Amino acid sequence: MSAFIGRSRCWPAVPVCLLLAACGGPTEPEPATPVSRSSAHFDFESTTADATAAEMDLGISLAETHYEAIANLVGANHLPGRKIKVILEGPFRPDRSAGFVDDQGNVHLSRYRDDLGGYFGSLPHEVAHAFRYTYWHRFNIGPWENFGFIEEGFAEFVAQQVYPEKGGFPFYGYPEDVVVGHMLIRGDAIPMQVMRDRHELNTPCQWQTYPLRASWFRYVDETYGRAAVLAIAYAEVETTNEMIAGLLGVAIAQVDADWDLWLRARYAAIPNAEAVAQAYLARFGDEPTCRAGVDY
């Protein structure tokens, strides 16, 4: 470290700053370098010096907690084949995806405001995807027509199972049955079969697609059992509607119709559902809504 760098950031251009605690004292800190962390199942890195040691510590601790819960959910035969890399990319920017798993199986996260989930609101969802990386490659899946529906629906279902208090998209800690039930009642629910057929709606209609698919998986879980969910999510043959109907013993159109009735009944049984739904909409009601006949 040179003597020059050892001076205050403010000196000598604005000497008065030397008197102010806000200047950070007489010694400028070393130029920051990205920090990293490793644990039993994760390597945390950062593309910027902006992710702090405290964020690394919190993130990797949360990730290990999620790992254990997700491992319990999916079972020992569906564990990742190796450690999961998580890359912290600094503040959210609208020109890039804020949370995703890349083609190497690495999780990328951006930092939102604390009241929008901060860095780790989407961590359990993305870790659920990363868990499936080994599975994707074993079966070379991806061309399946409804793969996107199952991949994204299962990831958010898992996230809601293991960390329902998460403050991130799409529920932000609000009750799933209220958020999705109100969507259904006010007529904003995209039909399940439309989402299975048209995964290109995933992102433009994300305020509908993510909550709806997670709720469908919850319904299948509570009605047909965890084994049925895992048989769909980790299928070794193409998950056609006929294949899913064969697993559940019910035609898929009937499963969708039964989900609708199930969710309406659950919503109706929540005493303050309308007030909670309005609180959610007061925060997020201005987000884009896809319409039948217009967007699909």
CB of 214 or CB of 231, closer to Zn ion: 214
CB of 155 or CB of 248, closer to Zn ion: 155
Q: How far is the CB of 144 from Zn ion (least distance, A)?
A: 16
Q: How far is the CB of 99 from Zn ion (least distance, A)?
A: 7
What lies within 8 Å, CB to CB, of 281 at 6+ separation is: 182
Q: What is the Cα–Cα distance from 111 to 101, expressed in whole angstroms?
A: 16
Helix %, strand %, coil % for the chain, to 5? Answer: 50, 10, 40
CB of 130 or CB of 277, closer to Zn ion: 130
Give the angle 282-163-156 at the CA atoms, nearest 5°: 75
Neighbours of 227 (CB within 10 A): 11
The closest residue (CB) to Zn ion is 155
CB of 169 or CB of 219, closer to Zn ion: 169
What lies within 8 Å, CB to CB, of 61 at 6+ separation is: none
CB of 46 or CB of 209, closer to Zn ion: 209
The 10 Å CB-count burial string (b at 16+, else e) for 44-82 is: bbbeeeebeeebbeebbebbeebbebbbebbeeebebee
- Least Cα distance to 160 among 231, 112, 217 occurs for 217
- Least Cα distance to 243 among 209, 289, 196 occurs for 196
- Token pair in block for residue 212: 């709806």
Q: How far is the CB of 34 from Zn ion (least distance, A)?
A: 25
CB of 55 or CB of 152, closer to Zn ion: 152
Q: How far is the CB of 206 from Zn ion (least distance, A)?
A: 10
Q: How far is the CB of 35 from Zn ion (least distance, A)?
A: 26
CB of 118 or CB of 124, closer to Zn ion: 124
CB of 97 or CB of 254, closer to Zn ion: 97
Q: How far is the CB of 152 from Zn ion (least distance, A)?
A: 5
Q: What is the Cα–Cα distance from 127 to 86, expressed in whole angstroms?
A: 9
Q: How far is the CB of 155 from Zn ion (least distance, A)?
A: 5
**Binding residues for Zn ion, per CB under 5 A?**
152, 155
Rounded to the nearest 10 degrees, how much is the dihedral formed by the CA atoms of 221, 102, 57, 49? Answer: -150
* Sheet (strand 42-46) strand order: 37-38, 42-46, 84-91, 107-111, 99-101
Q: How far is the CB of 202 from Zn ion (least distance, A)?
A: 9
DSSP 120: T
- Token pair in block for residue 295: 């967007």
